[in-house]
Amino acid sequence: YGGVKITRQDVVKDDDPTNNVPDNIFSKLGMQLHRRDQHPLGIIKNAIYDYFDTNYSNKFNKFDDLSPIVSLKQNFDDVLVPEDHVSRSYNDTYYIDPQTVLRCHTSAHQAELLRDGQTHFLVTGDVYRRDSIDSTHYPVFHQMEGFRVFVPDEWEASGMDGTSFAAEDLKKCLGGLARHLFGDVEMRWVDTYFPFTNPSFELEIYFKEKWLEVLGCGVTEQEILKRNGKSNNVAWAFGLGLERLAMVLFDIPDIRLFWSDDERFTSQFSKGQLGIKFKPFSKYPPCYKDISFWINESFTENNLCEVVRGVAGDLAEEDGTTTSP
């Protein structure tokens, strides 16, 4: 895939009426913010890699370059999303054509990697959901999927059944990751539902007076393992929202900032640096229409204001935010 820019002409057959991907979304394909080491999303991806490399002696294989254009089968059928689930609708998902979508989660790659023989893996990528836009929602964001397969020896030795063993291991792993990233942080587990895991959980982190959902996870449905040549095994999976984690970690107040190429944003982060706190700047673009005056002793403010109002009318006011020089 290689982060090549993809345009509508490359993938949409002449005005396919089933395509609901607007140009501003197409323009995000191939940007791969998660592969930039200086970008907060790249920094956090690398920090998570470090955690897994250290605690699991490099056992997790990493994928961060799989194409976000996937089949309906990959995105939904392979992970047991029911035929009538809302996430399949044109209202919620970007369709390139009736069989092809922009992945709405990195879980779309679970089955193919399992079939490929992978048993410990991390998949990072851009994901797409039709959604409203506000400070914590944007129709393109980034996830990291984690997947671990156990062999019977592992849970049998513990005296637990496979499912309880995997659930406990999963919470230990992700609790450890949260502490690795945040140190001491308030967090809580919430029971939830996903079609592809059972039991399923969400991890929430307390941020700016609210509980923020940062990941979904659970014990993989046996059916998925069975279909992909792993009937005798048990597995867990998680999907992390990288933006949400980065917002908490770097104090970034608005999810739209991740797309900024304003150097007041980009220059604040550097490779490998987790401890940085973002310093906010005006969300309005800079304006280069300042005027300077050289004045002599006969200057009075009233004279100047009359000249200005003569042109701009009564709306012109003193600007309280201006600082000098």
Nearer to ligand PHE, 40 or 125 (CB): 125
Q: Measuring CA to CA, which residue among 46, 59, 70 is closest to residue 149?
A: 59
Cβ–Cβ contacts within 10 Å for residue 200, how many? 19
SS3 234: strand
Exactly one of 32, 100, 107, 228 binds ligand PHE (CB under 6 A); that residue is 107
Exactly one of 42, 68, 125, 218 binds ligand PHE (CB under 6 A); that residue is 218
Residue 42 in the binding site for ligand PHE (CB under 6 A): no
Shortest distance, CB of residue 290 to ligand PHE, whole angstroms? 47
Exactly one of 40, 68, 125, 216 binds ligand PHE (CB under 6 A); that residue is 216
Phi, psi of 155 (to 5 degrees): -85, -30
Q: Write down the residue that tokens 């990941």 correspond to.
A: 215
Exactly one of 60, 194, 258, 278 binds ligand PHE (CB under 6 A); that residue is 194
Question: What track of x and - describes contact with ligand PHE for positions 220 through 249 (by CB under 6 A)?
Answer: -----------------xxx----------
Number of residues located near ligand PHE, criterion CB under 6 A: 13
d(CA 117, CA 244): 31
Nearer to ligand PHE, 42 or 216 (CB): 216
d(CA 269, CA 38): 6
Exposed / middle / buried, residue 199 (Cβ in 10 Å: 0-12, 13-18, 19+): middle
Residue ranges in contact with ligand PHE by CB under 6 A: 105, 107, 145, 194, 196-197, 200, 216-218, 237-239
